[in-house]
Structure 1
């Protein structure tokens, strides 16, 4: 079984104009980083013309599909029955995207099968983490 899950999703950018632009995005979960989820947007979908990715906790995403969650750079909340809003706060501004809730739930279920919630600590490589933190040899 692979230690990384990737899932493409269609995100809809919320803008001041009435029409929302659809953007491709990729959700990623890596068993080596069991507490984190990564959401990446390809270069053509960003203002900078380079891939942009955000990392945030799996718990934040899990909670946010059912009720508002987050107080920092990433916030997640339900929007009706079929969509979830992810807000990404940066110095340049706020990007808000809608993603189908069933796609997020499918991704979270796959992550749950790879690393059950509550068992994340069993997948941490503390030696590697300390080496990275202290700048030692790998």
Structure 2
């Protein structure tokens, strides 16, 4: 069984222009970091021209496809019948994308198959994490 799940999705960038631009994004889930998911955007899709990745709680994604969730840098909420709005808040501003809810649910089901909800702590390597934390840095 793989330790990492990646899934490409099409995100529609919400802008002040009447037409929304579609940009590629990649959802990622790693069994080594079982509480988190990430959403990455390739360089052509970002203002900085570099890949941008946002990490947030898997549980936030679970909640956000059902109801408004999040109060920090990443917020989600259902939009209409088949979309979920994902908001990314940074000092430079706010970026909002629409993603098909079915794609998010499929990704969540795959991550749940890899690490069932409630069993995340069983996939943490406490000894290795503590060793890395206590290791002297140059």
Q: Fold-level match, TM-score > 0.5?
A: yes
Equivalenced residue count is 137
Q: Deviations over 1:15-64 (max 9, x none)?
A: 01110000000000000000000100000000000000000000000000
Could you tell me which runs of 5 or more consecutive residues in structure 2 were left unpaired when the two chains were aligned: none
Report the Cα distance in structure 2 between the residues aligned to 1:131 and 1:43, rounded to whole angstroms.
34
Report the Cα distance in structure 1 between the residues aligned to 2:111 and 2:89, rounded to whole angstroms.
25
1:6 aligns with 2:6: yes
Q: Secondary structure at the match of 1:128?
A: helix
TM-score, normalised to structure 1's length?
A: 0.97
Q: Secondary structure at the match of 1:87?
A: strand
Per the alignment, residue 130 of structure 1 pairs with: 130
- Name the stretch that deviates more: 28-37 or 121-130: 121-130
Q: Give the direction of change, closer, same or farther, for the CA distance of 1:9–1:106 in structure 2 (3 Å limit).
A: same
Give the CA deviation at 1:136. Answer: 4.7
Per the alignment, residue 115 of structure 2 pairs with: 115
Runs of 4+ residues deviating >4 angstroms: none
Per the alignment, residue 93 of structure 1 pairs with: 93
1:5-84 alignment, distance < 5 Å: 5-84=5-84
TM-score, normalised to structure 2's length?
A: 0.97
Q: Deviations over 1:81-136 (max 9, x none)?
A: 10000000001000000000000000000000000000000000111211222235
